[in-house]
A and B are shown apart, each in its own frame.
Chain A
Amino acid sequence: MSDQDTSPPPPTSPIVPPGNIAGQAMALVVAIMSFLACLTVGGVSLVGQSAATWQSQISREATVQIRPARDFDIETALVEAQAIAAGYDGVRSARIIDREETLGLLEPWLGGGLGLDELPVPRLVVITIDEAAPPDFDGMRVAITEAVPNATLDDHRAWVGRLVAMARTTTLAGLGVLALVMAALVMTVVFATRGALAGNHDVIEVLHFVGARAGFIARQFERRFMIIGLQGAAAGGAAAVAVFVVTGFWASRNLTSAENEQLSAFFGDFSMGVSAYVGVALVIALVGMLTMITTRITVLRVLYEIDEKRADPAM
Chain B
Amino acid sequence: MIRFDNVGLRYGLEPEVLSDVSFHIPAQSFQFLTGPSGAGKTSLLRLLFMSLRPTRGQITLFGKDVLSLDRNEMPMLRRRIGVVFQDFRLLSHMSIFENVALPLRVRGKDAASYRHDVTELLDWVGLGDKLNALPPVLSGGEKQRVAIARALIDQPEILLADEPTGNVDPSMARRLLRLFIELNRSGTAVIIATHDLGLMEQVDARRMILSNGHLDVFG
Residues of A within 8 A of B (CB): 1, 3-10, 12-13, 15, 17-18, 202-203, 205-214, 216, 304, 306-315
With known contacts A211-B76, A310-B55, A15–B11 Cβ distance under 8 A: no
- Known contacts A3-B130, A6-B128; 15 additional CB pairs below 8 A are A1-B95, A17-B93, A206-B90, A209-B78, A210-B78, A210-B102, A210-B106, A211-B76, A211-B79, A213-B106, A214-B71, A306-B51, A309-B52, A311-B10, A312-B12
Contact A203 B53 (CB under 8 A): no
15 contacts between A and B (CB under 8 A): A1-B134, A1-B137, A3-B130, A4-B129, A7-B132, A9-B119, A9-B131, A206-B91, A213-B72, A307-B71, A311-B9, A311-B43, A311-B53, A311-B54, A312-B10
Contact residues of B: prevailing secondary structure: loop
Contact A9 B103 (CB under 8 A): no
With known contacts A13-B94, A213-B75, A5–B10 Cβ distance under 8 A: no
B97 at the interface (CB under 8 A from A): yes
Q: Which residues of B contact A212 (CB under 8 A)?
A: 75, 106
Residues of B within 8 A of A (CB): 9-13, 17, 43, 49-55, 71-72, 74-76, 78-79, 83, 85, 89-91, 93-95, 97-98, 101-103, 105-107, 111, 115, 118-119, 128-134, 137, 150
Contact A310 B52 (CB under 8 A): yes
Contact B74 A307 (CB under 8 A): yes
The number of inter-chain residue pairs (CB within 8 angstroms) is 117
Instruction: Tell me how far the C-beta of A70 lies from the nearest C-beta in chain B, rounded to whole angstroms.
Output: 95
Instruction: Tell me how far the C-beta of B141 lies from the nearest C-beta in chain A, rounded to whole angstroms.
Output: 14
> Roughly how many angstroms separate A211 CA and B108 CA in the complex, as a whole number?
11
Set A3, A206, A315: member contacting B102, Cβ < 8 A: A206
> Roughly how many angstroms separate A6 CA and B132 CA in the complex, as a whole number?
7
Contact A210 B132 (CB under 8 A): no
Contact B55 A315 (CB under 8 A): yes
> Roughly how many angstroms separate A244 CA and B5 CA in the complex, as a whole number?
71
> Roughly how many angstroms separate A308 CA and B137 CA in the complex, as a whole number?
35
Contact B103 A308 (CB under 8 A): no
> Roughly how many angstroms separate A203 CA and B103 CA in the complex, as a whole number?
13
> Roughly how many angstroms separate A311 CA and B12 CA in the complex, as a whole number?
7
Q: Which residues of A contact B94 (CB under 8 A)?
A: 13, 15
> Roughly how many angstroms separate A1 CA and B71 CA in the complex, as a whole number?
40
Contact B111 A12 (CB under 8 A): yes
Contact B55 A9 (CB under 8 A): no
Closest CB pairs A-B (n = 10): A211-B79, A212-B106, A9-B97, A17-B93, A211-B78, A210-B103, A312-B55, A310-B53, A213-B75, A5-B132
Contact A206 B71 (CB under 8 A): no
B82's nearest neighbour on chain A, judged by CB, is A210
